[in-house]
Structure 1
Amino acid sequence: MPNRNTTLASRLREVLLDGHWIANTNYKEQLQSINWKQAIQKVDNLNTIAALTFHINYYMEGLLNVFNGGKLEISDKYSFDLPEIKTEQDWNHLVSTFLRNAETFASKVAQMEDAIFDQPFVDEKYGSYLRNIEGVIEHSYYHLGQVSIIRKMITQHQL
């Protein structure tokens, strides 16, 4: 039976980098299949793909900071504060940062000792390490569905 660290790391890679089992897609596949104009294309009152990418990356970076011995310095109110995307280079930078953080996040989880998963994450009010890591997985799937649908709306109907 695999350890929790390898199971969680596999689940993270599944949704973020290379999986197809749950959603038949992943962030890497979705993000690399569009250009910057599509990434910032507004569909009704939905978030843009760029905003959703920034949002998930924001939380990964915040937790990575803790994994690396830093403080928890993120706040929900800033989680959609995407810098303006004006060029393909801006979009590619966001995507590459997201993918690098996704791989780093999964690798850090894979290296964790089993006992840490049951320990409080920074403060007991934030739950355990396990709850936060599973939260990243669940939150990522939630927004991956949105990214996938918005991408289809944009690319199939050229909104």
Structure 2
Amino acid sequence: MTRNVTIASRLREVFLDGYWIANTNYKEQILSVSWQQAIRKVDNLNTIAALTYHINYYLAGLLKAFENRKLEISDKYSFDLPQIQSEADWNKLVIDFLNNAEKFASKVEQMEDSVFDMPFVDEKYGSYLRNVEGVIEHSYYHLGQISLIRKMILSDQL
């Protein structure tokens, strides 16, 4: 299997259909909560909605950077979740996230092998490979949080 296919498979695993590393994935977790659960605050933790927005923010920003070779996102805006006040608001975020997850994996899958070793936008950001692997690692970190927060919310409602 080539590097692009292997990495795209790992992206789909964390976002859409995998169970190997975390025994779950984003799609399973976020489709299994109501909008009220998604915005529910547990202690001082981020909400499921905020974490979903956060990862989607990076996916959307990196997709743009793949196209225009400019990184126009900033960490300081990555938790600026628009208010979610209804099921429609939550569904829009979920659909946007799932679409961006598939677009991101597809874009990586289409990359030539040599691209992974090239500098990403600017040499200070490292290579494409480093950045895409960073997305995977960052996403698993927050998937763990979502999974735990979801369990806390569901156990509290029993």
Q: Same fold (TM over 0.5)?
A: yes
Mind listing any 5+ residue stretches in structure 1 that lack a counterpart?
Answer: none
Q: Could you tell me how far 1:77 is from its partner in structure 2?
A: 0.3
Q: Could you tell me how far 1:132 is from its partner in structure 2?
A: 0.4
Aligned to 2:77: 78
Aligned to 1:13: 12
Amino acid at match of 2:128: Y
SS of 1:85's partner is coil
Q: Distance in 2 between matches of 1:6 and 1:125?
A: 26
Runs (4+) off by over 6 Å = none
Identity %: 75
SS of 1:68's partner is helix
How many residues are paired up? 158
Q: Distance in 1 between matches of 2:37 and 2:31?
A: 11
SS of 2:73's partner is coil
| Residues 6-155 of structure 1: pairs in structure 2 closer than 5 A | 6-155=5-154
2:69·2:121 contact (CA, 8 Å) conserved in 1?
no
Q: Distance in 2 between matches of 1:9 and 1:79?
A: 23
Q: Distance in 2 between matches of 1:99 and 1:16?
A: 8
Q: Could you tell me how far 1:50 is from its partner in structure 2?
A: 0.2
Q: Deviations over 1:51-83 (max 9, x none)?
A: 000000000011100112252100000000000
CA-based RMSD of the aligned residues comes to: 1.0
Amino acid at match of 1:105: F
Q: Normalising by structure 1, what TM-score?
A: 0.97
Mind listing any 5+ residue stretches in structure 2 that lack a counterpart?
Answer: none
Q: Normalising by structure 2, what TM-score?
A: 0.98
